[in-house]
């Protein structure tokens, strides 16, 4: 599980690598995972993720 910093959230929102202060740290965190990675965010809408009504999101 990755608890993203504000710059990481901005990167995930806009897909703009210039938002990251240390992109290599995110790369290492994601690529060292053995099975899966999850980003912990307060609201999926923060990342522009749309959910279906009634799906719990």
Are residues 1 and 38 in contact, defined by beta-carbon separation less than 8 angstroms?
yes
The pTM of this model reads: 0.64
- Report the pLDDT averaged over residues 6-30: 85
- Is the pLDDT at 45 greater than 70? The verdict is yes
CA dist., res. 32 & res. 27, Å (int): 8
27 or 47, which is more confident? 27
């Amino acid at each position: 599980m990755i608890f993203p910093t504000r710059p990481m959230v901005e990167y995930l929102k806009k897909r703009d690598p210039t938002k990251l202060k240390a992109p290599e740290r995110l790369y290492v965190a994601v690529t060292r995972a053995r099975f899966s990675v999850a980003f912990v965010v307060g609201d999926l809408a923060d990342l522009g993720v749309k959910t279906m009504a009634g799906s719990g999101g």
